[in-house]
Structure 1
């Protein structure tokens, strides 16, 4: 009987964790006001005149590939928005500085390099488009 309760408890924990991830993955969160900025020096490329998506990825991350394609397609339609992909393994300094715990993690920067939104996990195009529209409206 004890084994049954252990199995039920394990299933409950897995379901709760899965529900939490479903609610939080890929959602735009406004960044903290005290986060450091990212500029052309750190990124190795100019910032977009309206916004820049900075994507932290890893080599063995399937959602990172999909996110990269989505952001590349989104930014290819606009001259004022850039997309920069950073390999987290090569830029551990930035990973540590910004507390990145999983990939993909995407920052949406304003024209001054301030992080305005943070996306953790796979995101949908609508999440990126909505955050970009909110940034432009501000």
Structure 2
């Protein structure tokens, strides 16, 4: 089962760099913590992603024994060689345990972006990055 999840994640992650943006209903690759394969994040896009309109998505965080996360932060980051830049702060609405709706997400230019998800779990800070390609 774990091999199937890894294979599906790799397949989905290729779409992040294929030059097409996620569409409403698409899901991102599953990204897991390097030190804890049971702590994973997946996004579900609620609107088409582009560089000219607001995006929104759901953040789903899976943890061992469904342990609750705290201090969720989400931001958008574009790597540009040796430097990068972010976007305006997103709005986070916690909808249930370990699930949040993200709105006011603006990808201000086309290209490869990272959706950075930070939270605390069992006294440990977690930082996971989900790659997303944004077309015009």
TM-score bracket relative to the smaller structure: under 0.3
TM-score with structure 1 setting the length: 0.28
- Which structure carries more helix by proportion? 1
Q: Which has the higher contact order (CA 8 A, sep 6+)?
A: 1
- Which structure carries more strand by proportion? 2
